[in-house]
Amino acid sequence: MLRICYLLAILVYGKTFMSNCIAHEVLKNGKTVLYQTAPVLLESVINYKMSKQKDTLDNIYNSVLNVDLLIIDDLGTESVNSMTISELFTIINTRILNLNQKVTKTIISTNLNIKDIFNHYEERIGSRIAGYYDIYYFFGNDLRFRRSI
């Protein structure tokens, strides 16, 4: 059985592929998975928060907070402003502390190292990632470059 823990895949290649493999195994075990890039995920959450017609978007927001495994791909590629930082903090904090009353897991992939995360966001996000996530570094050549050669 695949043990899924908090995972922060940092630096270089294979992060998305590895995340997809983990998602596949989790789905095979009957769990729910939401996989999205950081820009699209945060934009969707902000749109939900700003919408006057929340009924249609409730499912999206509730899924982000309650899905068994949330995969946030390419953290650091979204526009960073007070809204995105606030929503990222809410998502990470809710899922870490089980404020949703459910055990949930999160994978975050990024090309930022931990120092960059502290600089790019704020200390309360950086400290949660550093304190609650297992950090794995991926090294090697980008598979996309190999395919084009």
Ordered by start, the domain boundaries in the chain are: 25-140
At residue 79, the pLDDT reads 92
Architecture field, domain 25-140: 3-Layer(aba) Sandwich (3.40)
pTM above the 0.75 mark? yes
The share of the chain scoring above pLDDT 70, in percent, equals 79
At residue 3, the pLDDT reads 41
Q: What is the mean pLDDT of residues 75-104?
A: 91
Which band of pLDDT confidence, cut at 50, 70 and 90, is reported for residue 7?
very low
Q: Is the pLDDT of residue 25 over 80?
A: yes
Q: What is the mean pLDDT of residues 14-30?
A: 89
At residue 140, the pLDDT reads 63
H or E segment at 129? helix 123-132
Which is more confidently placed, 31 or 51? 31
- Phi, psi at 35, each rounded to 5°: -120, 120
Other residues' Cβ atoms within 10 Å of the Cβ of residue 41: 25
Mean pLDDT of all residues belonging to the chain: 83
Q: DSSP letters along 35-100, please?
A: EEEHHHHHHHHHHHHH-S-HHHHHHHHHHHHH-SEEEEEEETSSPPSHHHHHHHHHHHHHHHTTTT
Q: Is the pLDDT of residue 6 over 70?
A: no
CA distances from 121 to 26, 69, 78 (A): 29, 23, 11
At residue 8, the pLDDT reads 45
Which band of pLDDT confidence, cut at 50, 70 and 90, is reported for residue 4?
very low
Q: Is the pLDDT of residue 51 over 80?
A: no
